[in-house]
Amino acid sequence: MHSNIEGLSRRNFLKLSGSLTAFGVLSACAPAAAPSGSGAPDGDKSLTFWMWNTFAPGADEILQERINDWGAENGVTVEISRDSDSNQQTKIMPAIEAGTLPDAMFSSAVVALQMMEARAIAPVTDLFGEIGEAHGGWQPRLEEYATRDGEIHFLPYSIDTPMVQYRQDVLEAAGIEVPEGQWTWEQTRDLCVQAQEYSAEAGDNMVGWGFGIVSQQHDGWCHDLFRNFGANLWDETGTKIVLADESMEAATNALNFTKEAFDMGLFPADAASWDYASNNKAYQEEQSILVINAASIYVWAAENRPELAEATGLAPKPSNVLDTTNTDLRYTTVMSSEASDKETAGDLIKALYDENIYAPWLESGFVANVLQEYNALPMWEGKRGAFNLAAQIGTYPGFPAPFDNAAMSELLGPNDPHGSMMVRVLIDGWTPEEAIAESDEFAKRVFEKYF
């Protein structure tokens, strides 16, 4: 019996002492490892700031470092919290509810719109003007896109410019001639079929297209395809769903076109299980000949496998009836409507666009800049310049309406009709009409909640 008691106390003791020792050891390491921390010794002012991990860890580190430097120089203690980009909504939602949003933060445009609806972020129209003036003006049409009801609530920070990235070397070896500038979807299909055949003969068995067939859109190719075929979900006001009423024919064309391509074997065999990272992986592992993605793939290749970057050709996204290529804001900066010190928060935000912070961040990242002053950066020479160009001519979300809204954000989430229709037709074997009818009804139900 006694040994039991000792056994019990010993166990507890062991556990406690084990944890304490571990705690001790780790705390010794911790200060060396802790990446965040402020610079200002006794900041009379303090701010909280949230940022997200992007594909370029180097860029994130630099940004955080520079923000701390700024804090030190200006007597502000900046408490930075960094998390995975995919956790934005989970982290932000409860914070809005409880009123604990940070003073300033980065956020994706989609989330910014929702925050705007929830009246959680403050208008920053003045800041927009000041920043634009200080840096040679914003890129074209950004002001138009950002202004809602006469006010601006989110400041663009980076533009995502998905482009076609393809294996130039494979096409060359196959003797395929690549059209100049923007391809059409038919060309995209035909060229890739040829390249795929060539690859099969050569024993590589690469797949022509690197697109996923899932409801939640990851690489946006569905949306672009529908749009360029002229099949719009909503009308020019952005408040009414017109899929079945007006876009039936165009949508049917788009779906039939893709079904043909699918039957030709252009899609990867496991396309139905792809996620956000799948097309990156497919291209990085040399499984796909052509993908549509942001510059992250190209940048990764440039860093980790230069031969692949060399072999990669870039082209704008394909066209059909329309030749719009879409672009959107990956990050915006916003200020909480409950920020206690809006002026200092504004100063921090302005500093984010200054050369010592913005330029290095851009250079180690993969997105396009929002301010014209940075067009002249050396990084835009060479192949990368294509991404910047695409940013400037791209169409912002919401087309054919002037800009997007919270209803669209909800609609284009996990059950994006564009993706769903593709899944129905390609994977479930439905007819285009059935798929369109289902998505139309779903979209209408979502929009009903808002308008």
Partner 1 sequence: MSQETLRKPLSPQQLASSKNRSLFSGDTRLGWLLVAPALLIVLGMVGYPFLEAIRISFTDRMIGRGPGEFVGLDNYRYIIQWPQFTEMVVRTVSFTIVAVFLKTVVGLILATALNQDFRGRNILRGVFMLPWILPTYIIVLVWRWIFDGQTGVLNQILMSWGLIDANIPFLAKTWSAIGILIFVLVWKGYPFYALTFLAGMQTIPKDLYEAAKVDGAGRLARFRYITLPGLQQVMGVVILLSTIWTMNTLEIPLLLTGGGPSNDTEVFPLLTYHLALQNFRLGEGAALPIMMLPVIALLVLGVASYMDREAIE
Partner 2 sequence: MTNVFDRIPESVFRVISAAVIGILLFMIIFPLYFMLITAFKVEREIYSELTWIPLEPTIQNFYDVFYNFGIPLYLRNTLIVAGITTLIVIIVSVLASYALTRLRFPGRAGMARGVLFVYLVPSSLMLIPMYLIIVKLGLTNSYTGLVIANMSFSVPFCTWLLMGYLRSISAEMEEASLIDGCTRMLSLWYIVIPLSVPGIVTAAIFTFNNVWNEFIFALVLAQDDAHKMISVGLANFYRADFYMVGPMMAGSIIAMTPVVILYILAQRYVVSGLSAGAVKG
Chain residues that interact with partner 2, rule: CB under 8 A: 1, 3-5, 7-8, 10-12, 14-16, 18-19, 22-23, 26-27, 29-30, 32-37, 50, 52-55, 57, 61, 79, 81-87, 90-91, 93-94, 97-100, 218, 276-277, 279-281, 284-285, 293-294, 296, 300, 304-305
Which residue in 151, 245, 249, 275 binds partner 1 (CB under 8 A)?
A: 275
Host H or E run for residue 106: strand 104-107
Question: Is 417 near partner 1 (CB under 8 A)?
Answer: no
Question: Is 261 near partner 1 (CB under 8 A)?
Answer: no
Cis peptide before 400, with omega less than 30 degrees from 0? Answer: yes
Question: Is 285 near partner 1 (CB under 8 A)?
Answer: yes
* Torsion, Cα of 339, 344, 347, 349 (10° steps): -30
* CA gap 56, 50 in Å, rounded: 17
- Subset of residues 200 to 229 that bind partner 1, contact rule: CB under 8 A: 205, 214-216
Which residue in 184, 256, 287, 324 binds partner 1 (CB under 8 A)?
A: 287
Which residue in 399, 424, 440, 443 binds partner 1 (CB under 8 A)?
A: 424
* CA gap 168, 283 in Å, rounded: 13
Selection from partner 2, partner 1, none that 321 binds (CB < 5 to 8 A by kind) is: none
Structure letter (DSSP) for residue 215? S
* CA gap 411, 419 in Å, rounded: 11
Selection from partner 1, partner 2, none that 133 binds (CB < 5 to 8 A by kind) is: none
Selection from partner 1, partner 2, none that 429 binds (CB < 5 to 8 A by kind) is: none
Selection from partner 1, partner 2, none that 190 binds (CB < 5 to 8 A by kind) is: none
* Torsion, Cα of 359, 361, 362, 363 (10° steps): 90
* CA gap 222, 208 in Å, rounded: 16
Residue type at 144? E
- Subset of residues 93 to 152 that bind partner 1, contact rule: CB under 8 A: 93, 96-97, 114-115, 117-120
Ramachandran quadrant class, 209 (left: phi over 0; alpha: psi -120 to 50; beta: rest): beta
Q: How far is the CB of 228 from partner 2 (least distance, A)?
A: 22
State the residue for tokens 């896109």: 145
Q: How far is the CB of 305 from partner 1 (least distance, A)?
A: 15
Question: Is 160 near partner 1 (CB under 8 A)?
Answer: no
Q: Please, which residues bridge with residue 151 across strands?
A: 148
Instruction: Please give the angle made by the CA atoms of 101, 110 and 120, to the nearest 5 degrees.
Output: 30
Cα Dmax for the chain: 86
The region of 25-33, 50-58, 153-161, 423-431 touching partner 1 under the rule CB under 8 A is: 423-431
Selection from partner 1, partner 2, none that 282 binds (CB < 5 to 8 A by kind) is: partner 1
Which residue in 71, 132, 162, 268 binds partner 1 (CB under 8 A)?
A: 268
- Subset of residues 308 to 347 that bind partner 1, contact rule: CB under 8 A: none
Nearer to partner 1, 20 or 277 (CB): 277
Q: Is 96 helix (H, G, I), strand (E, B) or coil?
A: helix
Which residue in 271, 294, 334, 351 binds partner 1 (CB under 8 A)?
A: 271
Tell me which residue of 325, 307, 309 sits closest to 366, measured CA to CA.
309
* CA gap 235, 165 in Å, rounded: 31
Question: Is 304 near partner 1 (CB under 8 A)?
Answer: no
Q: Which long-range contacts (CB under 8 A, 24 or more apart) does 377-386 make?
A: 383/298, 383/309, 383/312, 383/314, 384/295, 384/298, 386/163, 386/314, 386/316
Q: Which residues bind partner 1 (CB under 8 A)?
A: 89-90, 93, 96-97, 114-115, 117-120, 205, 214-216, 268-273, 275, 281-282, 285, 287, 410, 413-415, 423-424, 427-428, 438, 442, 445
